[in-house]
Structure 1
Amino acid sequence: MKNNIKIGVILFLFVFFSSFNSLHKFYVSVTQVDYVKTKNRIEITSRIFIDDFNKVLEKKYNKKIYLASNRQIDGAEKLVENYLKEKIKVMINKKPYDFQFLATEIDNDVLICYLKVNFSEKITTFEIENSVLTEMFKEQQNLLHTNINNEKSSFLLTNSDSTAFLEF
């Protein structure tokens, strides 16, 4: 119960502050994972502050990326994909699966990343690691919401605890 209240407060702050184009003083991303059985896939939508993402990518690749601006470099989306493939790991039924990077979208100062994992079997266990931005921002918190097998769960992932595990 205490964890749900904490997650609710963080989500509220994320939504509240993401509507402003000013600097924010907290580090959070929100990722939604849905198993869509009718489409035989797991859909992953991750929302990450653009300014923080830019800083991490610039440090990692040693060049200015300019995400979501008119100066965005060629190949920026591929750098986003490569970074996410390094920082988000999915295991289904205790086997690792690679996700397919679909696209990005901009919503104010947030980059929305769309990913999917093709999967048509029954899910008995689901594990996801999300360490997005934690290498630069130690206080980064990655909220994770799941809807798998019609069971909803939420997790608060941090630098020291970046993995969520579900068993069905």
Structure 2
Amino acid sequence: MHTLKKISVLALFLPLFAFVNAHKFYVSTSNVRYSEKEKAVQIISRVFADDLEKTIDQRYGIRSRLATPKEDPKADTYLERYYTDKFIVKVDGKTKKFRFIGKEYKEGMIVSYLEIPDTPLPSSLEIENRLLYETYPEQQNIVHIRAKNIRKSFLLLRDDDHCLLNL
């Protein structure tokens, strides 16, 4: 009889467990910071490794195998190309080219480091973040911008992929 109660309780809660992995959230986070000391715009972008790998592989027709021992030796080149196309930074209304400094893997995420050196203190920073929209239309990109003593966060969506911080 005791076993029957366990089975009944399990049968009651089993449907709830079925929905735990049924929906995946597609989100990235990018921190954009102006460093007065370095006179540079510094960017740290965090994207789920599996989502970025799928997008890079489809876009460039490769098997990047990101975050694995068999990672494509050109993975950084592909990531830099992708970021250049999909993550646009404007300083005082002018598009600036960034350097792809590198990446690391943390807890299922690819953390990419970008920098725009030799940048005087801007009066505005504008970000266009279109990462992963071609693969995941429901993708949400969170952008945190910090310069001077001003901090502002933005939620960017496929149809609203720009944000602007006036300093």
Same fold (TM over 0.5): yes
Give the AA of the match of 1:133: L
Partner residue of 2:36? 37
Note the 1:83-162 alignment, pairs <5 A: 83-162=82-161
TM-score, with length taken from structure 1: 0.84
Give the AA of the match of 2:70: R
Alpha-carbon distance in 2 for matches of 1:79, 1:160 = 25
User: Are 1:123 and 1:149, in contact at CA under 8 Å, matched by a contact in 2?
Assistant: no
Moved more, 102-111 or 115-124: 115-124
Per-residue deviation, residues 11-44 of structure 1 (Å, max 9, x unmatched): xxxxxxxxxxx89701000000111001110110
Per-residue deviation, residues 50-89 of structure 1 (Å, max 9, x unmatched): 0000110110011211001011112011101110010000
User: Are 1:127 and 1:166, in contact at CA under 8 Å, matched by a contact in 2?
Assistant: yes
Across the two proteins, how many residue pairs are aligned to each other?
147
Cα 1:146–1:26 change in 2 (3 A) is same
Per-residue deviation, residues 63-116 of structure 1 (Å, max 9, x unmatched): 211001011112011101110010000111111100110010100210000000
TM-score, with length taken from structure 2: 0.84
Give the AA of the match of 1:26: F
Paired-residue identity, %: 32
1:148: how far off?
A: 1.1
Gap runs ≥5 in structure 2: 1-20
Alpha-carbon distance in 2 for matches of 1:81, 1:132 = 12
Give the AA of the match of 2:41: I
Partner residue of 2:60? 61
Give the AA of the match of 1:86: D
Alpha-carbon distance in 2 for matches of 1:34, 1:123 = 11
RMSD: 1.4
Partner residue of 2:162? 163
User: Are 2:36 and 2:121, in contact at CA under 8 Å, matched by a contact in 1?
Assistant: no
Bigger radius of gyration, 1 or 2? 2
Gap runs ≥5 in structure 1: 1-21
Moved more, 121-130 or 84-93: 121-130
User: Are 1:37 and 1:120, in contact at CA under 8 Å, matched by a contact in 2?
Assistant: no
Secondary structure at the residue paired with 1:39?
Answer: coil
Partner residue of 1:14? none
